[in-house]
Amino acid sequence: MKKVFIAVTNDLLTDQRVFRTVEFLLEKGFRVTLIGRKLQSTYPKSVKENLTIKRFRLLFNRGPLFYLCFNLRLFFYLLFRRKNYLLANDLDTLLANYWASKFSKAVLVYDSHELFTEVPELIHRPKIQKKWEKIEARILPKIKNAYTVCQPIADYYTKKYGTPFKVVRNLPHLISELHSNNLLKEKAHGRKIILYQGALNVGRGLEQMIDAIKLIPDQVIFVIIGDGDITEKLKLQVKSLSLEETVFFLGRIPFKELSGYTSQADLGISLEQLGFGLSYKYSLPNKLFDYIQSEVPVLGSNLSGIRSIIDTYKTGMTTQDFTPEKLSETILDILQDTKILQEWKHNLQKAKKELCWENEKQILESVFFD
């Protein structure tokens, strides 16, 4: 039985892409060790045969010392274990995996979840950005097995480093029957439910959405699922606008429970903006496909990746005007147009059957077995 070690720097609780890859490899007869870090005090134990979950507890949880400690710990963990494949998820796990592969015959596979060196957290910190770019430039030209989340990022890496990248999009499993836990509807008290799920970082339109919700608090509630760098800033904004009964923060929710929340929404938000690096410009967010699987219409930004999905499948609309007045007006227009909502719902039922992991995972065959 072939052994594969999969590394990621998060706590594994909400990483749908990684766990879908794990499921694929288990189906193919691999023995899988999944490595992350311990942030949550509790974590569901693995009950899957041939799956081991290892989470590192580190002294540092952010900054250069965190990445240094994680990669050192990961390298020595991998070094003395028998392995056939090493799967590095994103640039922040690649260095340890690369050197571990050099001391063995293990095949190194790289999954780039985003344009790591072009994320908003780095583009305004050029010294740190250059350090990551040096790691990327040293290793990526030497990798033969690589894939990423969308075609523009694949094209970018192939052109820059000469490394062919395949595309495996972040598509969820097909949801044949929708289930709801009704927790959001209980908070809504008859109002419509606007939902954002994903990382709470700059450039995702969240600040503007909260300002827009201030104009229509009697008609809608805004539910935010996730966590990130600006969580506390957003909570302070909500408090300053006295929106505590209109805007709700639910934090991170395990992905196995997520659809029970998502399916209650009347409208899903994906408002990534230009001006925050190429990673956002090329983005094809997970939440876009999660909304589709839960048959939730989408209000998205006008970025090419988001626009292409919404326009192709006719599952919502896009906007490039992020002023509170225009956002609130657009939201109300959508929610009051029963004809267009009915059309979008019909299209969502068709789109979800195509945009699902059951179709997309076949691409991984060529990554691991060609």
Cβ neighbours, 10 Å, residue 138: 12
CATH number of the structural domain 183-354: 3.40.50.2000
Output 278 or 238, whichever has higher pLDDT. Answer: 238
Q: Are 315 and 297 in contact (CB under 8 A)?
A: yes
**How far apart are alpha carbons 188 and 348 in whole angstroms?**
24
What pLDDT, in 10s, does the model give residues 47-63? 678 999 998 888 887 88
**DSSP state letter for 274:** T
SS3 219: coil
* pLDDT tens by residue, 347-358: 999 999 999 999
92-121 residue pLDDT tens? 999 999 999 999 999 999 999 989 998 878
Confidence band, pLDDT 50/70/90 cuts, at residue 44: low
Token pair, residue 357, equals: 């992991």
| Domain assignments of the chain as residue spans, ordered by start | 3-171+357-369, 183-354
User: How many whole angstroms separate alpha carbon 283 and alpha carbon 260?
Assistant: 25
The kind and range of the H/E element at 56 are strand 51-56
Secondary element (H or E) of residue 125:
none
Contact status, residue 42 vs residue 13, Cβ threshold 8 Å: no
By mean pLDDT, which of 32-41, 207-216, 312-321, 356-365 is the weakest?
Answer: 32-41
Residues 325 and 287: their CA atoms lie apart, in Å, by: 25
The two beta strands, 316-319 and 298-301, are parallel
Domains 3-171+357-369 and 183-354 share a fold: yes
pTM of the predicted model, to two decimals?
Answer: 0.85
Kindly state which CATH superfamily the domain 3-171+357-369 is placed in.
Answer: Glycogen Phosphorylase B; (3.40.50.2000)
